[in-house]
Structure 1
Amino acid sequence: MNSFVAFDFETANYNRHSICAAGFVFVENGVIVDQIYSLINPEEEFYSMNISIHGIRPHDVEDAPTFPEFYRSIQDKLSGKTLVAHNLPFDGYALKDNLSRYGIPSVENNLLCSLQLAKKVLPKQSRYSLDVLSNQFGIMLENHHHALADAEACARIFLHLTKRNEIISLEDLYEKTNIYFGLINRFEYRSSLVKPKKRKLEKKV
């Protein structure tokens, strides 16, 4: 659980496949060892609401790679890794929708959500956003809604929560939180979910 890739996307409009920036942070044995950031040409219209959030404008991505170009440049580094996002229902499906849009076979990855984990191990909080949790745990997040800054915050939050709760494996995660990892590969997509444990049947005497 201390080796994974945290990722974050920003989008040009309300379509999940309109990725205009991507950040990936590679963690090995609890240490950040690599980071990748890229603007992406979404080949889509930009909405003013989205621009007001992340500040990326159409002229910024004119010479940026398209999603297929970007994904193919990093897919070998991602293959077999566990991917962690803060709000996987958005970022995970943004990845899935782009792969489907361009007909790109996905490499195989397990999927986890730091937001989902925070809600399970900190059940009494009212807010679980990246900025709130970063401030709570003393994690620096100077440029919220920059894809790389958000991916790094996600990585550090996930490391903090797993260490604090002594979660060292996917089996630990399920036993302590009921969270069952998601999966993406060339054939299927399944988001991380809270899965009830099977009850052990008592033997009748």
Structure 2
Amino acid sequence: MTRDTNLYSQFVSFLKILLPLAALTLMSTVFLLARPPSGDNQIPYAELDRMAQEPRLSGAHVSGVAEDGSVIELTARTTRPTGDLIEAEALAAGIDTADGTRIDIRAGRGEIDSAARTARLTGLAHLQTSNGYEMETSGFTADLATGRITSDGALEVKAPFGSLTAGELVIDTPQDADGQVMLFQKGVRLVYTPKQ
């Protein structure tokens, strides 16, 4: 029994020397191999001055009702006023039409013209409707007074009945119609996919 106790005591004594030496070796390795700080640690005061002089608003949210009864909501990650125009980043429009259809438009950027009461969503705009239409184009223009939406260029559309391409899309509420109508025009090409 004394021999086992003696071996155990020797082992503990050995660890009392070895473990602090190992810790010291590890710490010296960390300090020796650490990278020096980069030279670019100065505060960009010119950039801070420019940002302080340029008014911005984060998380903007505007809503209203158009003449056709559509409820329109606009949200943006950041906005910057420039006269009558409000420039926006990550601009989104949500439209609840009078007939119950939901239209969601998202774009990388855009602008809201408060005088003309229009919103332009640009930079690969994506439109999706609650009745199964999904499309992408270079941009959309929404008339906030009337609720009319037009595409800025050609678009590709996934529809409940297949897919199509068109040169232009107009979403409008004709006077005698019960709700909004989607009108695809300028070189429409339809690929019909029958349901299984």
TM-score for both structures, normalised by structure 2: 0.23
Larger RCO of the pair (alpha carbons < 8 Å, separation 6+): 1
- Between Structure 1 and Structure 2, which shows a larger proportion of strand residues? 2
